[in-house]
Chains A and B, each alone.
Chain A
Amino acid sequence: MLALRDVTVGYGKTPVLRDVSLRVDSGRIVALLGANGAGKTTVMRTVMGLLKPWSGDVRLGARDIGGLRTARVVRLGIGLVPEGREVFAHLTVAENLRMGAYTRRDAAEVAQDRERVFRLFPVLGERLGQRAGTLSGGEQQMLAIGRALMARPRLLLLDEPSLGLAPLLVREIFQVLRQIHREGTTVLLVEQNAHMALQVADYAYLLETGRVVRHGAPAELLEDPAVKRAYLGG
């Protein structure tokens, strides 16, 4: 579904990613692991068109989407739950969800998707009129995911969904993630919490200072001594 080939990209004159190649096949959950500053968020931003690749290409199916405007990428069916949640704090929960469906005109199906979001995150349904800024961190994360789902993306990118959340909430979020995946959405997940990520993923890539250094099925990576040492605290 999504494939990056030899992508080099950065800010100003400094490259952050060098010749990164990765694939996210349809129906999978793929995890992208790595330390702070390894370039995980840069991968997400490049896919979304917030950064234009210097070289290499980004493909969605057969289509080259590298450097396409973000709004176009969203219309092609990719959604991003950004790092730090980035909910619209001054907008109500309902308005945030409405923004999620900004690109869609099919009111009836949008209403269905809203119900689906409430099923996944019942607490959002109880807070519809509340400003998003007044929600707790966990509720904001749920809203950010719900908002992204409102666009009915085929591919959902999540950037550090567990960041700053209590362990119990992290488990809840990951359960919902599995549910979303079961209902037919392909997922690319960026995580520092390698344990959690490898539990849900079908496949994983490991980034180090802008390069892919390992990739494979979670079982292989869990056995890899280098991965163990660096990311699994063993």
Chain B
Amino acid sequence: MTWAWRVLLWAGGAAGLWWLKGTLGLFVVNLLLVYVVVAVGLNVLMGFTGQISAGHAGFLAVGAYVAALVGQHAPGLGVGWALLAAGTVSAVLGVVIGLPALRLAGFYIAMATLAFGVVVSEAILQLDAWTGGADGMYVLAPTWFGVSLETDEQKFWLVLAVAVLTVVTASNLARSKVGRALTALRESGVAAECVGISTPFYRTLAFVVSAFYTGMAGALFAYVVSYISPDAFSIELSIDFVAMVILGGMGSIGGSILGAALLTVLDQYLAAFQDFRALIFGLAVVVCMIALPNGLQGLFRAAGARLRG
């Protein structure tokens, strides 16, 4: 991609956010950016290594509760440290899930992560002394060098910064040696091993990176919505994340951004019609997988190739 294209894409993204702010409000824009971080993080796992996680809401919950607890027990701590803590705790759990997942293939990983997501929700319920159980907990605003980020606009700049950082690091990762190793793993684990790529190391790494991003996103989520409870992190949310990645196109970071944006906006318009919302999400996944296995990104790429002749 040329520099001109890239500038154009970023500018288009900025214009899109501006427009969304006008129509749906800054809160939705913030939420959208949080989901962009999750989708990009999940894509590191799904797109690069072909391991599906049906439990990323679990990592999101872990990050959210870590941020809330940090805010409660260490209110002076800067937002950078809080994000790091949320990402790290989540990444550690990523290792815990990723290591046994090494011995598993395909859908077993989906089942294991699905179970992980549910166990996290249940654990939050059981640890009610800290988490407030089903009552949930309020999240104090994060602080940036002593300044409390209270308003949606302040939070917007925080979330935007993290989202941009996520996208940039993930694209660099994709182009790096690590990214190529991960892609080789998706094509064929055994064959990749034959050319000296250590399967266990990279597969675990993908889990850790993905969990780290999602944990950070969880902290941001907590700040944006400012009240969290276990039922916010359901299996359905995990599957929505999968839908974002699929719709955008597995393995494409631009696609994940698009998928997250599209489904978040759709969600707002269909909020009053829960069943139609679910129906459209589900149909989007089904139709996309049948007709567009490379997602919207693949469609655009094909259209672009045709335009250029």
Do A and B come into direct contact in the complex, CB within 8 Å?
no
